[in-house]
Amino acid sequence: MLKLISGAAALAIASGASATVVYSTSFEQPAFVAGALNGQSGWLADAGSVVNNPARAHTGSQFASMTGAQIGASGKWAWENTSAIGPAQLAIAPIIRASVWVGMGGDAGTRTYTAGLDLYDSFIARIGLVYIASDGSVGVVDGANNAFNSPVGTINPNIYHKLTVEANFASQTVRFFVDNIDLGINGVFSAFDFADADIRGTRTTGTGGAAFVTAFDDYMIENDVPAPASLALLGMGLIAGGRRRR
Nearest alpha-carbon partner for 214 in 37, 17, 6, 44? 37
Confidence category of residue 152, pLDDT binned at 50, 70, 90: confident
- Percent of the chain's residues with pLDDT above 70: 85
Cα–Cα dist 6/114, whole Å: 22
Q: How many C-beta neighbours within 10 Å does residue 136 have?
A: 13
Count of all residues that appear for the chain in the document = 246
Query: 201-222 pLDDT, tens per residue?
Result: 999 999 999 999 999 999 999 9
- Percent of the chain's residues with pLDDT above 90: 79
Q: Is residue 213 part of a domain?
A: yes
Average pLDDT over the chain reads 87
Coil/strand/helix, residue 170: coil
Query: 8-43 pLDDT, tens per residue?
Result: 333 334 444 569 999 999 999 999 999 999 999 999
Q: Is residue 176 part of a domain?
A: yes
Q: How many domains are there within the chain? A: 1
Cα–Cα dist 56/174, whole Å: 31
Nearest alpha-carbon partner for 221 in 42, 53, 32? 42
Q: Is residue 4 part of a domain?
A: no
Q: Is residue 111 predicted with pLDDT exceeding 80?
A: yes
Q: What is the pLDDT of residue 29?
A: 98
Question: Sign (positive/negative) of CA torsion 146, 21, 213, 151?
Answer: positive
pTM for the model stands at: 0.86
Query: 124-138 pLDDT, tens per residue?
Result: 999 999 999 999 999
Q: What is the pLDDT of residue 240?
A: 36
Q: Which domain holds residue 62?
A: 20-245
Query: 43-60 pLDDT, tens per residue?
Result: 999 999 999 999 999 999
Q: Is residue 13 part of a domain?
A: no
Q: Is residue 113 part of a domain?
A: yes
Q: Is residue 231 part of a domain?
A: yes
Q: What is the pLDDT of residue 72?
A: 83
Q: What is the pLDDT of residue 226?
A: 86
Q: Is residue 2 part of a domain?
A: no
Question: Sign (positive/negative) of CA torsion 127, 174, 148, 70?
Answer: negative
Cα–Cα dist 18/200, whole Å: 29
**Residue type present at position 3:** K
CATH of the domain at 59: 2.60.120.560
Q: Is residue 9 part of a domain?
A: no
